[in-house]
Structure 1
Amino acid sequence: MTTRPEIVLVRGDITRQDTDVIVNAANSSLLGGGGVDGAIHRRGGPAVLDACRTLRAGHYGRGLPTGQAVATTAGNLAARWVVHTVGPVHSTREDRSGLLASCYRESLRIAAELGAGTVAFPAISTGIYGWPMDDGARIAIRAVREAAAGSVREVRFVLFDQPAYDTFAKALAEDEATGR
């Protein structure tokens, strides 16, 4: 029987989390950007960018595809690794929820392969990529609940502000009420 990881909600700065893995809501270039991506690259320092450049020079020459994940060093972060994943841009004409769920599943798969016990996630795609927070929270929690998490015993959703925290808390309560 597989044990599901405990889901914990934290209001704060993901770059300050002392976990085995911090998940980066990256862009496909892997070379840094705004929001969570920029913050992780700034705090992680040059080692994170150097590792991403190595990935781009190799297997990911065209960038990391949406919904996939890859790990690098965490540089100066308290974490051991950064798992980079590229979330989808929200669309009202096309259902991309499967790609968003894949970001969480693939990140957990990579974390488990690394032997990680704790993983910190941001609210992937809910910033500049425009995903509605309530739908993003529902998809994130369901994907984590349904994923084979291996060694991962705790998944921490780190939400930057109170409205995001409240939205995730509501989605988590609804998920627990349905007995998923």
Structure 2
Amino acid sequence: MASDLLSPAEIPTVGDLYRQKRLQHYHSQVEPSKTLNGIISFIRNDITKLKVDCIVNAANSSLLGGGGVDGAIHRAAGESLLAECAALDGCDPGDAKITSAYELPCKKVIHTVGPIYMHEDSPDQTLRSCYRRSLEVAVENSMKSIAFAAISTGVYRYPSDEAAEIASEETRKFLDMPVNNGKLERVIFCNFVEKDMESYEWKIPQFFPPTPEELGQTNGTST
């Protein structure tokens, strides 16, 4: 394997970033959770270099490849990915389908189709469904670690700050469900451009705030 591959163990969690004073915290109405903060990560990197169980491709409805991260994933996976995708008969916006990863270092690829921001009446609901369905498909296929590309924030023009808020909120809701306890060990938001990374730096603390322990405080409790 190439030396530039990254495993989940090499990527700091939100809890790590708080303890290292590398992530600023803001007022949040959400209950801090040491457990959840040990699951969530966000980085700026090439998603095709992540050695996780599955990555989430921001695909188009044909599933036959395209530009941006979609094209990068298809190129890195090789022609066999295109052949498998061609047999899936496309994918509706907000839904997700899983394939093998072929030459990628991950085990599986989950393809989800995000909304074109100015072309849909309720793009927020479609984007929420993308994250929810991708997480559901990962759990259904016994994936333990999942990395998301930034969905719809490129040529589909979804505002990065709004997209990061939806991704964070939907992931928190999913992980908070008792039926999903322990199903996912790591959820990584992998951003390729700076604007997406900056949005997660602002939004993640609102949905995954630090525990007193992560702030270096001795009082208080955490879940």
Q: TM-score, normalised by structure 2?
A: 0.72
Report the Cα distance in structure 1 between the residues aligned to 2:119 and 2:144, rounded to whole angstroms.
Answer: 36
Counterpart among 68, 71, 75 of residue 95 in structure 2: 68
Per-residue Cα deviation, 1:13-65 (whole angstroms, up to 9, x for no partner): 01111100010000000000001110000000012111101212xxxxxx210
- Give the 5 Å matches for 1:1-180: 4=36, 6-56=39-89, 63-91=90-118, 94-147=121-174, 148=177, 149=180, 151-177=183-209
For the Cα contact (< 8 Å) 2:160–2:195, is it kept in 1?
Answer: no
Aligned-pair distance for 1:70?
A: 0.4
Report the Cα distance in structure 1 between the residues aligned to 2:156 and 2:119, rounded to whole angstroms.
Answer: 12
Tell me, what secondary structure is at the counterpart of 1:28?
A: coil
Larger radius of gyration: 2
The one-letter code of the counterpart of 1:171 is: K
Where does structure 1 lack aligned partners over 5 or more consecutive residues? 57-62
Aligned to 2:10: none
Where does structure 2 lack aligned partners over 5 or more consecutive residues? 1-34, 212-223
Aligned-pair distance for 1:123?
A: 1.0
The one-letter code of the counterpart of 1:15 is: T
Report the Cα distance in structure 2 between the residues aligned to 1:100 and 1:173, rounded to whole angstroms.
Answer: 20
The one-letter code of the counterpart of 2:75 is: R
Per-residue Cα deviation, 1:59-78 (whole angstroms, up to 9, x for no partner): xxxx2100000000001000
- Identity among equivalent positions (%) equals 41
For the Cα contact (< 8 Å) 2:172–2:207, is it kept in 1?
Answer: no
The one-letter code of the counterpart of 1:126 is: T
Q: What is the aligned residue count?
A: 171
RMSD after superposition: 2.0
Aligned to 1:60: none
The one-letter code of the counterpart of 2:74 is: H
The one-letter code of the counterpart of 1:160 is: F
Aligned-pair distance for 1:144?
A: 0.8
Report the Cα distance in structure 1 between the residues aligned to 2:194 and 2:109, rounded to whole angstroms.
Answer: 25
Aligned-pair distance for 1:178?
A: 10
Per-residue Cα deviation, 1:110-146 (whole angstroms, up to 9, x for no partner): 1001101100001100000000000000001101111
Aligned-pair distance for 1:177?
A: 4.2
The one-letter code of the counterpart of 1:81 is: K
Aligned to 1:59: none
Q: TM-score, normalised by structure 1?
A: 0.89
